A and B are shown apart, each in its own frame.
Chain A
Amino acid sequence: MAASRRTQLAAAAYRALLRLLPADMRARDGAEIEALFIDAGTDARRQGLAPYAAFLAVSAWDVVRRAPYERWRRRGRRPATQELLMRSFLSDLRFAVRSFGRQPGATALVLLTLALGVAANTAVFAIVDGLFVRPFPFRAPDRLVYLNERAPAWNLEFTGINYPDFHGWRERARTFESMALFSPTSINLTDASGADRVDGLTVTHDFPKVLAVRPVLGRTFTAEEDRPNGPRVVVLGYGMWQTRFGGASDVVGKSLRINSVPYTIIGVLPPEAHFPAGVNFWIPLGGDPNQQGRSYGYDGIGRMRPGVTVEQARTDLMKAHEPIWRAADTSRTVSPRLDPLREQFASNFEVMGKALGVGALLVLLIACANVAGAMLARSIFRRREIAIRMALGASASRVGRQLLTESLALAFVAGVAGTLLGRWALGVIVAAAPDSLPGWVQLESGVRTVGFGVVVVLLTALIFGLVPALQPRRENVAGSLAWGGGQRTSGSLAQRRMLDGLVVVEVALALVLLAGSGLLLRAYTHLRDVDPGFRTAGVTTFQVSLPRTKYSNGLVQKQFFTMLIERLEAAPGVTNAAIVSCLPFGCHNGQFLQVEGAPPPTPNSPNPVVLTRMASPGYFETMGIKIVRGRFFAENEGSPRGPRPVVVNEEFAHAKWPHGTDPIGRRIIWEGDTTSSDWMTVVGVVRDVKHYGLANPMRPGIYISTTGIDSTSSRRTFGVAVRSSADPGSVAATARAIVRQLDSELPLFEVRTAEAAAARSIAPRRAIAFAFVAFGFVALALAVGGIYAVLSYVVGRRRQEIGIRMALGARRGQVVRLVVEQGLRLVAIGVVIGLPLALLATVKLADLLAGISPRDPITFTAAIALLAGTALVSALVPARRAAGVDPKTALGD
């Protein structure tokens, strides 16, 4: 008895000792270990007390020694655990693929939804990244600043830089490592293959130093070469070196005919020197520090010393400008300005970029809400399956992991599809906004975009995957397993509320997008319908630039253009042809003018700059510009020696004769030129042409007649306008043929129809409006799809109830109304939430709305009506299905 008692005691002690072992080992092997211990113990005890004591000691030692190892082994078993996780992940994945495969339609819809969201975001990311984030391809791009000058009194935020001003800055400014000027130019390039118009830059010699670029071949300019009438040298752009010279290494020292004059090639630029856009070559700017007069026109770029802030550089620049104010501009009309380089080039797109970013994000959120809803509904329908799994021992985390795996699988497929779709969309957007973006912007879906897509996909998977993954709860298992409880298997009130909430969110966000896209679309159509001030239909324009060597003076040039107009007008289909120094939506040539008899302007009185164009007498008729008062130029009127007629636009008339004085017969003259005899007499007032683009206001402008061109004229580039009944392609071909007859070395450039030119001026608006309309429609489709899904679910869930109602005499119409009302209630709540959001959001779009109010009631009403209307239609389908419920079968379920 004592012996057996001792055995029992020993067994109890041993069992207690076994608690040192890891729980899983105890659970699995504990009983057997104990049994072994007891068996062996019985044997040992028979051999006597000493062997038994030894046995007990060793047994205890066996536990104590092995327990830490077993625990360590389990902690150190990470690889095995990971392997298990991986294995369960793979089986989850297989399960997910199978279960999605059983519902191909629903799965495809979910994938499409997500893919659209991801596509919108990757495309927009590529744009935002290219414009605002991706650094310039130059060393320390943060230290680069854009320089210019401003003159509020002239109504000019950017006057361009005056060369002597720049010279002074360069001498005196201390916070800059270097600064340079550049000016876009284009040249006629002639070689054996024919004539070409090529864009490039004239630059000061410091330009490569500012950008911190080195030529890949040869050298760049010396300070000595960068002077007035300096040597004729050219540095080739990398692209031109490749295409025109096949990347030949012996190109340095060769000659290139620029504007019919030979230039010596001294070097080749690296590919990244592609700044600001379309740079095929650099030639020396050759500025004269002693140049007289107020001539502004260069762009500037500076590299700040390390550690200098933009504010410090700005202050320093102002200080460097002081002597210029003291010497030549005591009224401080013109002052320097300095902005971070990116701000200068990207600021035009800031509102658009933000709007696109927010729009794409909203689409993604709606897509997430939609998919979360779908997954939630799916998980509710799968409650029985999940309950069985949990009853069989699956942990909540295990089931949650499986649901998350399904979300990840969906997100992965949708992410791949979305990224591809986004690349395509990016192509469409880029094509819709041709060359209105700065040239250094690289809109490509590279590694960064794909990386962003991956992040988006993971986030979406988390957002929409988490909702259903949070669902499994053990306490619900019993209820869900109860057979026949049709009501209880279809989800709790909380889950219904969650579904409803998701739909409300979708509706609210969709309203924001619809209102935004409606406004942008209205703004765009409004702009498109803006009267450009001339009849665009049937007009084709192009430019011709005459090289100085061959057309050395104005008279020769005038002769060329007179012949060109004559031949063009003789061509079949052509009704009119004319030339102008600045075509609409094209260049700018600002001058200051003074009215006879008006008091001389005080230095800081407003003195808006005047767009000055030279036009041949037939220009107004060719373009279809309407006369408001007086007349156009007469043929041959305004010979170099005779009286000088001038035609002014309405804006000029209002600015100079604000009190309604009739401008006809009044005389004007270039400001500061009052002593000369060059007075011009106003013969006509014409409608404003939207010269700076359909979205921008017109400045005061005047036209002077090309008949006044004399031998001293320096204007050698002219726009040519042709009005023809023939199709634009054949007009362009005819024009090319005629120009080639006159001079085979002359290229035509910027050949386009006036309609295309007008459309180009609002191309970015079009791109963003269309992008938003696409966003809006996707949002609408998703929200309406969400409503449909919820109502279908509700109808399915309430089949029995509906059956009872109908058995008790409810009419079909009443059932339909019941369901539709549920849907419309969700829409109503969504609208109530979305409306204030939309009103807040659209205010931010004001800059893009071209005068349309951001709270435009028509747009908002239309957006709500569209939303409610489509929601109603989508609610009718499940409603009619509900009305079709046969009480007998529904109750028999």
Chain B
Amino acid sequence: MRRHWFYILLSLTERDRHGSGIVRDVLALTGGELRLWPVTLYGSLDELREHSWIRELDSAPDDADDRGHRRWFRITPQGRRALAAELERMQRVVTVAQRRLAGVTGPYGEPS
């Protein structure tokens, strides 16, 4: 999964957001490392929508802090599943990487 997608989905798991809300959240999530530029952001949102991983809301959510923005996005159950799968994959990589770094061989370790 592309990095943009991952962080957009991750951002939307917390709550429904609009475009600039996502940008800010992703900035915060990555400690300022990943900035979603506008065209990339909306292109990615379109792609995610094509995957049915997010959908656009018909109107701003009731608890919205900023009702001036027209378009709000929400993660779909498929989106959550995709994100969970990606997390699991990352988890495995992390596990293997940690083991290797620690010199431990295991089911994913070096052949003896």
Contacts and interface: CB of A to CB of B under 8 A. Distances in A.
Contacts of B47: 73
Contacts of B40: 62, 66
Contacts of A18: 39
A62 B43 CA distance: 11
Contact of A36 (B19, B43, B50, B70): B19
Nearest to B56: A28
A67 interface: yes
A36 B71 CA distance: 12
Contact of A32 (B37, B43, B50, B71): B71
Interface residues of A, number: 24
B42 A29 contact: yes
Contacts of A31: 70
B48 interface: no
B46 A80 contact: no
A433 interface: no
Q: Tell me what chain B mostly uses at the interface: helix, strand, loop, or mixed.
A: helix
Contact of B70 (A32, A39, A59, A73): A32
Contact of B43 (A35, A40, A70): A70
A33 interface: yes
Interface in B47-93: 47, 50, 69-71
A32 B48 CA distance: 17
B23 A36 contact: yes
B66 to A, nearest CB: 11
Given A32-B70, A32-B71, A80-B50, A37 B38 contact: yes
Given A58-B37, A59-B37, A62-B37, A33 B50 contact: no
Contact of B46 (A25, A37, A63): A25
A381 interface: no
A21 interface: yes
B34 interface: no
Interface string A52-72: 000000110011001101100
Contacts, number: 50
B39 A32 contact: no
Interface string A10-49: 0000000010010001001101111111011000000000
B20 interface: yes
A80 B70 CA distance: 26
Contacts of B42: 25, 29, 32-33
Interface in A556-596: none
Nearest to B44: A66
A40 B47 CA distance: 23
Contacts of B20: 35-36, 39
Given A36-B20, A36-B23, A63 B71 contact: no
Given A39-B20, A73-B47, A33 B70 contact: no
B96 interface: no
Nearest to B45: A29
A69 B43 CA distance: 9
Among B20, B37, B46, residue most surrounded by chain A Cβ atoms (within 10 Å): B37
B46 A62 contact: no
Contacts of B19: 32, 35-36
A772 B69 CA distance: 74
B27 to A, nearest CB: 10
A36 B46 contact: no
A36 B20 CA distance: 6
B37 A67 contact: no
Nearest to A38: B38
B33 to A, nearest CB: 14
B91 to A, nearest CB: 30
Given A37-B38, A58-B37, A66 B70 contact: no
A66 B40 CA distance: 6
A69 B71 CA distance: 23
A876 to B, nearest CB: 58
A73 B50 CA distance: 11
A33 to B, nearest CB: 4
Given A32-B71, A36-B19, A39-B20, A59 B38 contact: yes
B16 to A, nearest CB: 15
21 contacts: A18-B39, A25-B46, A29-B46, A32-B19, A32-B42, A32-B70, A32-B71, A33-B38, A34-B38, A35-B20, A36-B19, A36-B23, A36-B41, A40-B23, A40-B38, A62-B40, A66-B39, A67-B39, A70-B39, A73-B47, A80-B50
Given A33-B39, A40-B23, A70-B39, 19 more contacts: A18-B39, A21-B39, A25-B42, A29-B42, A31-B70, A32-B19, A33-B38, A35-B19, A35-B20, A36-B23, A39-B20, A40-B38, A58-B37, A59-B37, A62-B38, A62-B39, A66-B40, A69-B43, A73-B43
Task: Report, nearest first, the 6 A-B pairs whose CB atoms are least far apart.
Answer: A62-B37, A29-B42, A33-B38, A36-B38, A66-B39, A62-B39
